[in-house]
Structure 1
Amino acid sequence: MHTQRTAVAALALFTLAACGTDKGSASSTPAEPDVPLTGTGWTVDSVSAGGTVRKAPAGAGIAFEKGRVSGSSGCNHFSAPATVKDDTLTVGAATSTLIGCPKNLQWYETALHKTLTGKLAVRLSGGKLTLRTGKGDSVTLTRKPAEQPAPLTGTAWKVDALVDGASISTLPRGTAGTAHLTFGKDGSVRGNLGCNRVSGMAKVTDGTVTFGRLTTTRMMCKAPAMTLERKLLTVLHGPVRYGIEHRVLTLTAADGTGIRATA
């Protein structure tokens, strides 16, 4: 398991206000002012870096929420803060999962991370968002139709990361995609902890899930799976805070440890 320290590109702001015009051309069409980004998802179309245009893979996208941006390169997930002034976005440090990606995805992800860093010129026009570096490299995105967050109950949540305060860690090697939870409308919770199946009851109130006694099967698995299971059971105990941003669920215990899962 690797705690993320790598700075990746990210964006965060509630509204891009008064983006202005593209200063590179007197005939440029003015960008749309006061376009709200909070709660808006963006699909990454392509990345242009070093003279090469790389089409984004399926699933690559960004969502703006509460002064941060979270997203996926199509392989790894990332999250970070940023600041905007006039038509310039300055990207701050970020956290990212470190899943080993196939070569074709890794080439795209590397280009995306190198491009979305430092100061970026922002242009919004016709539902398209363009972020451009001083060297002329750019990322183009398309605004997604408005969508409601995934509901807590009835959704199969796949655990994809562990949280410890502001740090995000990948799952133990070999356990990706094994742990999942589903909350029932009847107050039940069922799923898998990466090794054993789990079931029990969980009371959902405003912003809190209070787990009752959970029962599990008794299989013995290899060390990475058992490590993940122990960490999950530590979080899934008593009252924990929950939050949903689009299709991402976070469960956080009182000590700041938690898990992140995707619908």
Structure 2
Amino acid sequence: MKRIGVILALALMAGCGQTEDTMDLSGTSWTASTIAGDDVDHTITAVFSDDTLSGSGGCNRYNGAYEAHDSTISFPQAFMTTLMACDEPVMLMESRYLELLAGVDSYRVEDGVLTFFTEEEPVIRFDEVSQDLSGTSWSVIDYLTESGRTSVLSDVDTMLELAEDGTLRANAGCNTISGTYEADAGVFASSGLGMTEMYCEKPDGLMEQEAGIVEALAAARGYSVEGHTLTLWDADDVIVLTMTSR
């Protein structure tokens, strides 16, 4: 009986180990809240795919491979980063973040907070970024054209509203665009897109911008929310729209 009791206890302990503490990080997105105990006053992000961690260090983009099992995590290679320069406080925080990140050896997820540890000491904490698009509103930053990604015209207010009932409404500066959408687990699709038939002469390029945004929206097949940014990409994994929350 004593042996059976020990076996049952071990089984219960193993079952309890499969909790949110050791959730699969793939497909999740996070924003850093504290680094080495200091509050983060600008946006630092971490986005996990199947085997890659990418994001923004506050100034530069970074990416690298990660390996996670149960509550352990490691980054076997040095992170690749862009080489932009920003204000000194931002660069110092970014450098500290990447330095600490490289030495992380375990993690825990609890109540929407991801904590990275080094030798059992918490070094970085993140808040989860919701991937639920229902009830959100966005302004377009850039969109894909034949010549590449193009920034929206200055002084032109653009918006995309994704309602909780599955309808969408957008405006690229002239006409109102409407339709329906589905967004779940990184998969995005719009349908029934239509718009009013106004013609706006100014500013130059406005109608071309509107047509480009509608075309990009129709082509979108995937999405990700990172920090305050929503990115949509097509079936070939090419980014077609980048937006910021309103």
Partner AA of 2:41 in structure 1: P
In the TM superposition, what whole-angstrom CA distance separates every residue of 1:96-115 from its partner, at most 9, and x where no partner exists?
A: 9x8xx9xxx73233335555
State the number of aligned residues: 203
Distance in 1 (alpha carbons) for counterparts of 2:89 and 2:144 = 26
| 1:225 positional shift | 5.8
The residue that corresponds to 2:77 in the other structure is: 90
Tell me: CA distance 1:217–1:68, structure 2 relative to 1, closer, same or farther (3 Å): farther
The residue that corresponds to 1:174 in the other structure is: 154
The 3-state SS of whatever aligns with 1:236 is helix
The residue that corresponds to 2:46 in the other structure is: 62
Partner AA of 1:41 in structure 2: W
The residue that corresponds to 1:261 in the other structure is: 243
Q: Equivalences for 1:109-128 in 2 at 5 Å?
A: 109-114=90-95, 116=98, 120-124=102-106, 128=115
In the TM superposition, what whole-angstrom CA distance separates every residue of 1:43-89 from its partner, at most 9, and x where no partner exists?
A: 15348xxxxx9863244332324434454455x68463434597444
Distance in 1 (alpha carbons) for counterparts of 2:210 and 2:231 = 17
The 3-state SS of whatever aligns with 2:104 is strand
Q: Which runs of 5+ in 2 are unaligned?
A: 1-20, 109-113
Q: Tell me if 1:231 matches 2:219.
A: no
| 1:258 positional shift | 0.8
Tell me: CA distance 1:55–1:154, structure 2 relative to 1, closer, same or farther (3 Å): closer
The residue that corresponds to 1:24 in the other structure is: none
Distance in 2 (alpha carbons) for counterparts of 1:216 and 1:251 = 26
| 1:243 positional shift | 2.5
Q: Tell me if 1:242 matches 2:222.
A: yes
The 3-state SS of whatever aligns with 2:193 is strand
Equivalent pair of 1:42/1:141 in contact (CA under 8 Å): no
Distance in 2 (alpha carbons) for counterparts of 1:259 and 1:216 = 23
In the TM superposition, what whole-angstrom CA distance separates every residue of 1:212-246 from its partner, at most 9, and x where no partner exists?
A: 23336433344576664343133133x53133446
Distance in 2 (alpha carbons) for counterparts of 1:236 and 1:120 = 37
Tell me: CA distance 1:143–1:54, structure 2 relative to 1, closer, same or farther (3 Å): closer
Tell me: CA distance 1:224–1:95, structure 2 relative to 1, closer, same or farther (3 Å): farther
Q: Equivalences for 1:9-24 in 2 at 5 Å?
A: none
The 3-state SS of whatever aligns with 1:150 is coil
Equivalent of 1:251 in 224, 232, 235: 232
Question: TM-score normalized by structure 2?
Answer: 0.56
The residue that corresponds to 2:25 in the other structure is: 37
Tell me: CA distance 1:252–1:95, structure 2 relative to 1, closer, same or farther (3 Å): farther
Tell me: CA distance 1:92–1:155, structure 2 relative to 1, closer, same or farther (3 Å): same
Distance in 2 (alpha carbons) for counterparts of 1:69 and 1:224 = 38
The 3-state SS of whatever aligns with 1:258 is strand
Partner AA of 1:201 in structure 2: G
Distance in 2 (alpha carbons) for counterparts of 1:171 and 1:79 = 22
Q: Which runs of 5+ in 1 are unaligned?
A: 1-32, 48-52, 132-139
Structure with the larger helix share: 2
The residue that corresponds to 1:129 in the other structure is: 116
The 3-state SS of whatever aligns with 1:234 is helix
Distance in 2 (alpha carbons) for counterparts of 1:87 and 1:183 = 37
The residue that corresponds to 1:80 in the other structure is: 63
The residue that corresponds to 1:13 in the other structure is: none
Equivalent of 1:218 in 176, 194, 199: 199
The residue that corresponds to 1:155 in the other structure is: 136
Structure with higher Rg: it is 2
The 3-state SS of whatever aligns with 1:90 is coil
Partner AA of 1:143 in structure 2: F
Tell me: CA distance 1:142–1:80, structure 2 relative to 1, closer, same or farther (3 Å): same
The residue that corresponds to 1:192 in the other structure is: 171
Equivalent of 2:162 in 172, 178, 183: 183
Q: Tell me if 1:202 matches 2:190.
A: no
